[in-house]
Structure 1
Amino acid sequence: MPQLRSFTLGLAAAAAFLASGAVFAHPKIVSTTPTDHAEVSAPSTIEIAFSETLMTQLSGADLTMTEKSGTTGSTKIEVKTAASADAKSLVITPARPLSPGTYRVDWHAVSTDTHAVKGSFSFRVK
């Protein structure tokens, strides 16, 4: 009988461990618009879609122009960041149309299970 009890406890512990994978998941990027390293016409919005619902008050993004023909250095671009209706995407709206050059989006996101992630991607405006 003690062996059956040990086996049952072990099986329950293994099942709990495997099921906890979802609990410890972090939000992952599903897509970005524009895509990383894309060359595009000036977008009016930039979108980052995530695999989980975000705590939008703790999530956000910065947009920086990292390269412009004839200039050096980087310039932070004024943006407004908002959540999509389902709170699974961040929508970044530049205050002014983007001029030709290379841009980097630095983002941070916190999912509703309080896991935080951050990253960046870049794109080029023709």
Structure 2
Amino acid sequence: MSQFRYHTLGLIAAAAFVISGAAFAHPKVISTKPADHAEVSTPATIEVTFSETLMTQLSGADLTLTETAGATGATKIEAKTAASADAKSLVITPARPLAPGAYRVDWHVVSTDTHAVKGSFSFHVK
């Protein structure tokens, strides 16, 4: 086999490796506001920022009060979820100010390359 042919096969293999790595990428959480496990004053909005652009019509989040002073049990909180201007963040806006207690955000997103992922994080309101 000629030197040119080895070189060409090597380039094709390298390109296939790079392309396959990109094809298996999934959106990852870059940051959350409030931070996971943080203790904060009542936030006006909650934000989850991802590493990739989201398909906003297929992405969303639920906000749940998981514990309050003297009581336990999960209560879903009425909130609106929207995408940021760059479509890399979900912004959750509670319908009313959050009362003191522990909260969990369960999110599910689909990136523009159609990879779906889900996860959660929690925080505590003083």
Fold agreement, TM-score > 0.5: yes
1:14-33 equivalences in 2 (<5 Å): 14-33=14-33
Moved over 4 A (4+): none
Greater Cα shift, 60-69 or 23-32:
23-32
The root-mean-square deviation of aligned C-alpha atoms, in Å, is: 1.5
Any idea what the Cα deviations from partners look like across 1:11-63, whole Å, max 9, x if unmatched?
A: 41233112331232111111000000000001010000111100000000000
Q: Which residue of 2 aligns with 1:83?
A: 83
TM-score for the superposition, normalised by structure 1: 0.92
Q: Which residue of 1 aligns with 2:119?
A: 119
Provide the C-alpha distance between the structure 1 equivalents of 2:104 and 2:67, rounded to a whole number of angstroms. Answer: 10
Provide the C-alpha distance between the structure 1 equivalents of 2:72 and 2:23, rounded to a whole number of angstroms. Answer: 45
For 1:38, the aligned partner's letter is A
For 2:56, the aligned partner's letter is T
TM-score for the superposition, normalised by structure 2: 0.92
Greater Cα shift, 116-125 or 9-18:
9-18
Q: Which residue of 2 aligns with 1:54?
A: 54
Q: Which runs of 5+ in 1 are unaligned?
A: none
For 1:114, the aligned partner's letter is T
What percentage of residue pairs aligned between the two structures are identical?
A: 79
Q: Which residue of 2 aligns with 1:74?
A: 74
2:72 aligns to what SS in structure 1? Answer: coil
Number of equivalences: 126
Q: Which runs of 5+ in 2 are unaligned?
A: none
Q: Which residue of 2 aligns with 1:108?
A: 108
Provide the C-alpha distance between the structure 1 equivalents of 2:94 and 2:25, rounded to a whole number of angstroms. Answer: 31
